[in-house]
Amino acid sequence: GENVEQHPSTLSVQEGDSAVIKCTYSDSASNYFPWYKQELGKRPQLIIDIRSNVGEKKDQRIAVTLNKTAKHFSLHITETQPEDSAVYFCAAGYSGNTPLVFGKGTRLSVIA
């Protein structure tokens, strides 16, 4: 089955700096790669996703890149703000009959 590795497990950045979180996946059939943000005590919520026919997608300060050949994808957050502090999860899915497989998460702390 699919296996998703996520790095780093914790990340601290100064406010205004950029943050990058990386994930690798094992199943070359995977074609859907979402990112979820989970604030303390809250539920995970989708912030951005990318499909395998696209190499990069941006939404204001966040962007995701996908390299299908290397089987990795990354989340980029620019001009970080304290409200970006949260746990971020990457996931991989494919057009089979099984749910998303999640990485173990990255705890991002933005220091003011």
Residue type, 36: Y
Report the residue from 86, 89, 108, 110 that binds other proteins according to the rule CB under 8 A. Answer: 89
Q: Which is nearer to other proteins, 78 or 94 (CB)?
A: 94
Cα 42 from Cα 49, distance rounded (Å): 20
- Looking at residue 24, its amino acid is T
CA distances 12 to 6, 16, 96, Å, are 16, 12, 36
Binding segment for other proteins (CB under 8 A), chosen from 12-20, 56-64, 72-80, 92-100, is: 92-100
User: By the criterion CB under 8 A, which residues form the site for other proteins?
Assistant: 6, 9, 31-32, 34, 36, 42-46, 49, 51, 89, 93-105
